[in-house]
Amino acid sequence: MVELDNLTVSYRQHPALHHISGRFARGSLTAVIGPNGSGKSTLLKSIMGLLRPAGGQVTVQAPRERIAYLAQLTEIDRSFPLSVVDCVLLGCWSEVGAWGRISTELRQRVATAISRVGLAGFEQRTVGSLSSGQLQRVLFARLMVQDADLILLDEPFNAMDSRTTAALLALIHQWHAEGRTVVAVLHDDEQVRTHFPQAVLLARELVAWGDTAQVLTPDHLHRARMLAEAWDDHADICHTDEATSARPAGGHRAPERVITP
């Protein structure tokens, strides 16, 4: 469904992700994990096409309207004056179009989704008046009506209580059973071990990708922590580029300042 080929993504020439290769198979259920600042959100945005790679490429076998994306809560503008029901309806825009009539069937689907996330009665509330956990649930309801082939979730359970998290994990399993491809950025190792068959461990570079039991080993987690401790905002080093600098095709532009850890 998604193929990453030597992907490098930079912010002002500082690579946030570098030389990542691998694939998310169609129908797979994968957790993306790694320390803060390890490039997890950058990876999802690159798959979504919101960021342009500095090197390598991302290939997605799905049209844009069949990809659903839940941004990290901190990046969502809540001041927009939108009701809960309209926010969920936005998930169907590709079916309805800008001036299309909203059918009774569609309204019913939206009502079912709102009720499934436990927000029946909140339809007319503005999204700005909701708690963070309630807003996350609205955004899940929007994903439910969207009917996407590829679903990208960035820290979907932040600000959620354990009961809601369990309900939404059940929804993720349902999507998986329906053959959709799901990629979720998560923090809770136990949750990943229990619910996600595949995992990607990032630390700006790829530490491990594969079956969760093989990815979440003490050795890999230690390596990710060590890599994270070696960073600061200016110390983006790319040893791969140093090693392959005679081969310009695969490499991205090296940072101006190279600091050895």
DSSP calls for 15-80? EEEEEEEEEE-TT-EEEEE-STTSSHHHHHHHHHTSS--SEEEEEESS-GGGEEEE--GGG----S
Identify what 38 binds: ligand ADP, Mg ion, none; CB under 5 to 8 Å per kind: ligand ADP
Considering the rule CB under 6 A, would residue 40 count as an interface residue with ligand ADP?
Answer: yes
The Cα 27–Cα 33 span in angstroms is: 19
The Cα 116–Cα 216 span in angstroms is: 32
Identify what 124 binds: ligand ADP, Mg ion, none; CB under 5 to 8 Å per kind: none
Could you give the string, one character per residue 42-61, with x where binding to ligand ADP holds by CB under 6 A and - elsewhere?
x-------------------
- Using CB positions, name the residue nearest to Mg ion: 41
Element of type H or E holding 85 = helix 84-89
260's tokens: 């050895």
Point out which span in 21-29, 37-45, 128-136, 216-224 binds ligand ADP (CB under 6 A). 37-45
DSSP 11: E
Q: How many residues bind Mg ion (CB under 5 A)?
A: 2
Identify what 16 binds: ligand ADP, Mg ion, none; CB under 5 to 8 Å per kind: ligand ADP
Cβ at position 102, least distance to ligand ADP in Å: 35
Considering the rule CB under 5 A, would residue 198 count as an interface residue with Mg ion?
Answer: no
Interaxial angle between packed helices 132-146 and 162-177, expressed in degrees from 0 to 180 and rounded to the nearest 10: 10
Considering the rule CB under 6 A, would residue 16 count as an interface residue with ligand ADP?
Answer: yes
Interface pick for ligand ADP out of 8, 30, 38, 146 (rule CB under 6 A): 38
One-letter identity of residue 186: L
CA Rg value for the chain: 20
The Cα 14–Cα 136 span in angstroms is: 31
Cβ at position 204, least distance to ligand ADP in Å: 7
Judged by beta carbon, residue 38 or residue 181, the one nearer ligand ADP is 38
The Cα 204–Cα 228 span in angstroms is: 8
Judged by beta carbon, residue 53 or residue 91, the one nearer ligand ADP is 53
Interface pick for ligand ADP out of 18, 34, 141, 212 (rule CB under 6 A): 34
The Cα 30–Cα 209 span in angstroms is: 10
Interface pick for Mg ion out of 8, 30, 38, 41 (rule CB under 5 A): 41
Residues that bind ligand ADP (CB under 6 A): 11, 16, 34, 36-42
Residues that bind Mg ion (CB under 5 A): 40-41
